[in-house]
Structure 1
Amino acid sequence: MSIYKKLFFETLFEESTDGLMILKDGKCIECNEAILKTLGVKNKNLLFGLLPSDISPELQPDGQKSSIKEEKMLRFTLIHGSHNFDWVYTGRNGEDVWVEVTMTPIATKQKDIVYVSCRDISRRKKEEKILLEEKEKLHRLAHNDALTGLANRLFFIKRLEQATSMAKRHRRELAILFLDLDRFKEINDSLGHAAGDKVLCEIANRLPDVIRKEDILARLGGDEFVILMENLFDKTDAAILAKKILDVLSEPIYIEGHILYVSCSIGISLYPENNGSIDNLLHCADTAMYKAKAKGRNNFQFHSSDLTEIANERVSLEDKLRQSLNNDEFLVYYQPQINGENGELTGMEAFVRWNHKNIKIISPSKFIAFAEETGFIVPLDQWVMKKALTQIAQWYKMGHNPGVLALNLSMKQLNRVDFISGLKSILEETGCKPEWVSLEVTENQIMPNLKNVFDTLTQLREMGIKIAIDDFGTGCSTLSQLKHLPIDELKIDQTFIKDLPHNKDDSDIVKSAIMLSKRLNIDIIAEGVETEEQKSFLIENGCINMQGYIYAKPMMASKMEKMLTIKCHSTIDTDQE
């Protein structure tokens, strides 16, 4: 290299307004004056022999504070060649200093030499931040209500158009809830618009607490709010939400020394029932809202009167369920499980009964499915579990031998992340041992969800709790699936028992289930056994454990306790309900 060329490059290096340095083995061996200002370092000698992260611990790619990225950048440069990225560190004044970095490998015999160019881009970053904030502000002004911060009419209409398009494509249902505050004008007239605005903001703060995360809540203007519910499981889910809204708004609002009680009227339209344009869906919801006003305010109405009646029944049922749980109006009944050969009690299954004060005993078939749909099954399951485990532990302490207690378990309960810890707490609180418990899950529920619950079932077995597949035969489980399941018992569904031994198909299914249990080396029990013929058929084919009316109906704990004093249960009074 000529002396002029060398002088040119030295001058270019020293006088460049960009900060420049040369790294060897990742450490600085040469730099110019500009780099000192860029990195906030006073003396050039302070840089020599240091890693960039030694200069400032916060000087890392994209603001990350780990030196791992720095090492990766150097390695990437040496392997792939020159590249650019941004670094940020906190300057002496506490502000972020952004640096645009270019790293280029220098072709020498020593392949670990890297040329680094640093340009202060803090001003550009500030301008970009201001532009972004302005853009977000404009977006908020265009799509959000200025007073409440909720979505506005424009955003809601756009979202509704997308939702109806998706619902049509995937054949899904959605609902629109149109809310209008009752007698809101009186608040504005008596207390002023400022107080009215505060009420609107309070309403806007309360509503998100009761809607689902995926629901869209908007203020259309004035005292009108609207909610979009997509992917409805059941049409009356909209009614359940409407009831929650009425409840949350029933709480008093404290404004400027005044205690206000604000209610609303809610109209509900459905897609595709109220099919048509977006305007038509909103019009149907608006019309239904005026029906609610006409019926005395502080209620909800569907555009279809028939749906309103059905929805009110469901909402009423949910209210009764929750009140009954709080009032301890549920009962646990127990049905014995018997060894058919010797009549000995081997265990019992717990069933829940609803002893409503005005309706007397209500069959589980009338409320369990509804409890599953609404999620009420979770607190109900927990109540039954605690009650039954307390009882079984008490019987053992009294010197009885009630065997293993079988509890039905819903998938909603099993899928809870805190299920195992909650069960352990109940076992500890009640003094019930895990080996006294069997948890039953239905075949139709568990097989589609096997991947999600396999680990939970395994943990339960490791605790000493038995796992049973209930209603076996009603699903489509295969041997290959069952042999990998952490289960201890199969329960043959009563639909295959009732026509034994005369129905050949049922006989073959039951025989196959018994053979399957033997191959898997797990227990088997038949439920719904009512006749001596059924009992004899089961014993002859290898199923000796059974439960059903041939022995006893589900009974209250007091009657079950009397039964525990009997040594043999081959003939028991079935009038135990």
Structure 2
Amino acid sequence: MSIRRQLAIGIGLLMIVIMGGNFIINVKQLVAHYEAQLQARADETATTLALSMTQSAERYDDASLRSMVDVIFDRGQFKQVRFDYVDSDKFVARYAPEEDVHDVPYWFQSVIDMQAGYAQEQVSKGWQQLGILSVKMHTAPMYQQLWIMFKAELAWFAIMGLIVVYGIRLLLNWQLQPLQDILVLVDKLARNQFVHIHKQPKSKELVDLVSAMNRLSDRLNASFVAHSETVGRLQQANFDDALTQLKNRRGWEQFLQEWMTENSFRPGWAMLIRIDNLQSLNSEFGQTKVDELLLQIAIFLKTHGSLNQEHVSIARTGGGEFWIFCPDPLDKQFTKHISELVESLTRLSFVEQFCAEIYAAALPVQSVIAPASLKHQLDLLFNRARTEHKTLLIGEMTDHTFTNWVHWQKALVEALNGQHLQLYRQPLFNIEGEIIQYELHSRLKMDDRVMAAGEFWPLVERLKMTREFDERVIELFIKQFDKWQSVDTWVINISGASINQFSFRAWVEETLTADLRKKIMLEFSEYTLANLSGGAENWLHKMADQGLRISVDHLGTSGRNFSFLSRFPITQGKIQRRYIHNINQHTEHRFFVTGMIQILHGQKALCLAEGVETHAEKSMLIELGIDGVMGYGLAEPEHWR
């Protein structure tokens, strides 16, 4: 029982006892008052009537005596009026019959025993006593008046009781609101959301408690950030270049291994950039100046408009050698974009100042090829550019054809309106091997060929149709939802371009019923969350409060400190395959995964692994404490008909 309820009950009972005691005293005072009235009436009637009876009693005139008794008795409120002669057994009397008191409950008469007024008076002449007059009052009228007053007192007691109870409740809510704020803060801290209570309470004790909780939030935040930075530094030490913070050789090799697979491939272009006279620059200007040159090139590549997007990978594999992959639909404009990029690179201030000799080779990649073959072809193309003294050479794959935008736009519109867009589902298993959720994948059927999202999604993004496709996927899921309600969780990936649109968020909020929100988990990439608008971030918190769960995938790819994840109410996170591949053989991968497990568990979120291909990988992940695994090696996506 909460302290608010305990205080409310305690204070309420105390007030009820006080008011109840006051109520009982008031009733008893009313009874005493009515009894006094009855007694005074009896005394007054006996005295007055005794004086009037003297002459009639002296003459033994029973008729006159009866007449006087009748006159008094008929006025009501008398139970008995009786005159007894002293010197004989004769008497004159009038009695009221025993009747129930109308409109007064029997239990009330039993509980309140009201004494009827009774008086005796001697009828005499001089010193001669003639008789005795007895008068007894009837209590029925007083019971009726007392019952009316009792009901009025009871109603007043009930009204005051309600006022007191609700008054106490409002007072306690006002006084103890900081405790509720503290509970909210504790819940957020449990999910590594480090916030403050800004509204100060009135009482000193609660002020001290709120201040202590705010200090605790700061300490936990500092600890969480330090832990996230440690995991980030571990990632950088193994996969990032220390100078430029780009991928190093190991990170680039891992990216190529992951990219050049059927389920992860995206078409685009790859580029090799190299400073050909780096050694002479080191001799002439020194290592520090050359490092400034390399850093300027790295910053330029990371911030250039064409490369500042998700799934772009940039690496410095040593010296002045840079490698780039950029997803691209490979239309007729892609060569122009590459040329503008290299031209801007050669105009950098340090490049011109140090007379750096830069050569570049680019190659469109339309289909999966072996990473070694890709690097070999780029090396050959680069050597040709250097031999021919050309700053840039762009080669072509033998089977490459340019993207026809008119054709693709028509095909994508038809896919939205027809049956070409298909849903596939891939299971995710817990450590016991039980399916705990399904992740939905979209496929596009064109010309008797089924295309994975990685192949057609860059076209969707370029044509700015992400919202239409995300909405269509949700609509297709809803159509089949009734047949699959036994499955607890369905994960649907949403693009960053869609979630940052207010109209899409409004559509989701209107479309997803309470039942659907219990079943659906919206998934966003780490890159999307790192670049989310303020409105979209607030919307995620609002929807999470309404029961919608949030998942984040591709953990470890945005280049951000992992502490930023604490801003989001995530339910689960999925570690990118590059850290899962052959994890049983790489200690640095195990350290990274262990750190991510600790970070996510600190947010009360599940930590999952995607891209698990072998039993050895699965066994090592379970040993490290992973919550669930998925991958083509466990179960491939199946067409969800």
Larger RCO of the pair (alpha carbons < 8 Å, separation 6+): 2
TM-score > 0.5 by shorter chain:
no
User: Which is richer in helix?
Assistant: 2
TM-score (norm 2): 0.37
TM-score (norm 1): 0.41
